[in-house]
Structure 1
Amino acid sequence: MTRDNINVSSVSCSATCYGTVFPISILEFSFDGLKKFINAKGCERKTIIGDQNKHIYYWDQNGFSNDDYLTLRVDHVPLFCGRTALHCYEDFMSSFAKKFEFLIGTVIEEISVGLGPSGVLKYPAHPFGDGRCKFPGIGEFQCYDKYMMDDLKMAARKEGKPQWEEKGPQKTGCYNSLPSEVPFFGEGEGSFLSDYGCFFLCRQPFQQVIKNRKC
């Protein structure tokens, strides 16, 4: 009997098998017009949400999006025909389990669930796929989409720091910088040890990764 291992990924990545690279696209509900998933829910809207609203993806400081992964701030925002990203993920997994229940444990012997970029629960600072970042570059903060910035504004207001509302960390270098070249990762004024640096790293964006793991 043929046995299969299933990889369920909510992100875009490339898988390699016997030297051949197989691209895995992001789930259709965010990128490819919602198609049958949305039609089954009685929604006639067929626009490509990821093209219409690029802010569902992470943005870097220069306004370039990382289309491999949905920003964590849309987890609870009903952007997908009235549904949140978590609702879509939940229904996808439930539908898969129901459809293939009779095969699980026999033909399907293992199911791997990707938790983030490249299947790993991590911060998506290194979009290698389009050549922006090359090892050993430090990558960039991906926190400039509308929803992440709204979260930053609310956090700054709670801290009574209106001057922190409109900007991410400064002097953080670029994708291919080395840590030693970047003032933010040093010990001087404006570094990660400053009041703003501690505020940013404690509130955004890494705490969002931890919250996402709990979801």
Structure 2
Amino acid sequence: MYDWDGYFDLVRLAATFRMKVRIVLGFHQRGTGPTDPCWLPLPIWVLEEMDRCPDLAYSDRFGRRNKEYVSLGCDVLPVLKGRSPVQVYSDLMRSFRNKFEHVLGDIITEVQIGMGPCGELRYPSCPCERFTRPTDEPELGEFQCYDKYMLASLNAAAHKIDIKQWGKGGPFGAGSLFQNSEETIFFKNDGSWNTQYGRFFLEWYSEMLLLHGERLCMAADTIFFGTGVNLLGKVAGIHWHYYTDSHPSELTAGYYNTLTRDGYLSIARMFARYRMTMCCACFDLKDAEEEDINPKSSPEGFLRQLVHAARICNLSLSGENSRNRLDDASLRQIIKSSKLYLGQSGGVHSNTTSLSFNFVRMGKNMFDSHNWSRFTRFVRQMSDARTFQASLGHRTSRSSFFCASEELMKLAERLYIFNSFIPRF
């Protein structure tokens, strides 16, 4: 049984003010622990099953368990009181559809489907809250393939090509979490990531993630078919090793993206098959602000590659900000990033593709008079086709026009804490 009453009241309030609602159906832990004001763990009954069978949680090579999300290695196995994880996710989606079917496509226009930690299609490779960072070196991440279900799949893949020793675990020489990638055997520029073994492992690891995404896309497409809502899936903006050959932090997250291989095109194609919108962050980040801290990082390079993949696949894109900033430089960067998708060069859109932008991490400081004035001016720019003059002939941003009226200000002050939707399943 699912209790939707509180969310129903929120949707009804939005309808009163003729607002549209985007719902995020999350199946992951939120927050870093009980002291976090945003703490929301997995449901008690799921955690009880994890206590009985620790392999339901992801594990790295050191045996550290991660309970942010149920391991995708057991996606279709009846490990949750007789149901598989995908069945549990589907049951929640179906319950939500049945409760809100009278407003789907009208008030509720978008539903984002959670696909992993933080709702993103990825492995929990960088559990930063569990470590004391010893250096300024960005995280390499840890491969999450050591629970018995993931190991069984890896072992089967190795047996299929008759190299059984490759099925015993993740790569040798992957270094420690904060190590310089050039000091590792696997991730250095001429490392074993680019050998026959490396390609075998990384193809298996990323294909498992794609298969998980495919299962959730298929379930969501079936459940919400004919409701009129737009479905979204989110890709993580992992950019802190983008200027290396091996892109280690992307590899450990499940994105087989390197100097010689595009790891995002296959994800874009998957979303396109189900007519979903691909959601990603980093629209507000600039390389120039990152390079002093980490010269290997390139949020703009990552975003250009992801946008290119979306354009090739005629896939709609939904952007997000990564930080809670309301300064002019950050808001201008969002407009600049949006033009990457809406520009005329680099691909041809179909009539059904579009760009939208979702401003997240809304907080009290937004409603300070100077910030609110700056933000409403930004929304007007995002809603005005003249901002994207180079994109004439294409659809422009679907961001709603904001009016800083007293009525809207009062509503926003009441709603700002509800910018995420993570029901218990």
After TM superposition, the structure 1 = structure 2 runs for residues 1-150 of structure 1, keeping only pairs within 5 Å, are 2-3=13-14, 5-14=22-31, 21-26=37-42, 28=43, 32-33=44-45, 48-104=48-104, 108=108, 110-131=110-131, 136-150=138-152
* Separation of aligned partners in 2, 1:80 and 1:147: 14
Deviation at 1:178, TM superposition (A): 2.6
Find out whether 1:193 has 2:166 as its counterpart.
no
Q: Percent identity?
A: 31
Structure with the larger helix share = 2
The structure number with the bigger radius of gyration is 2
| Number of corresponding residues | 193
* Separation of aligned partners in 1, 2:198 and 2:162: 15
Give the corresponding residue for 1:209.
Answer: 209
Deviations 1:59-102 (A, max 9, x none): 00000111101111111111112211111111111011112334
Deviation at 1:181, TM superposition (A): 2.1
Deviation at 1:109, TM superposition (A): 5.6
Match of 1:157 among 156, 159, 176: 159
Match of 1:167 among 169, 172, 182: 169
Deviation at 1:13, TM superposition (A): 2.3
CA contact (8 A) 1:61 1:141 kept: yes
Q: Which has the higher contact order (CA 8 A, sep 6+)?
A: 1
SS in 2 for 1:76: coil
> Which deviates more, 163-172 or 109-118?
109-118
Give the corresponding residue for 1:180.
Answer: 182
CA contact (8 A) 2:60 2:146 kept: yes
CA contact (8 A) 2:145 2:169 kept: no
CA change 1:33–1:195 in 2 (3 A) is: same
CA contact (8 A) 1:139 1:177 kept: no
SS in 2 for 1:115: coil
Letter in 2 for 1:160: D
Deviations 1:174-206 (A, max 9, x none): 2222322221012557x1122211111111x11
CA change 1:166–1:132 in 2 (3 A) is: farther
SS in 2 for 1:13: coil
CA change 1:62–1:69 in 2 (3 A) is: same
TM-score (norm 2): 0.42
Structure with the larger strand share = 1
Deviations 1:92-131 (A, max 9, x none): 1101111233454566565433222212222321112333
TM-score (norm 1): 0.79
* Separation of aligned partners in 2, 1:138 and 1:192: 13
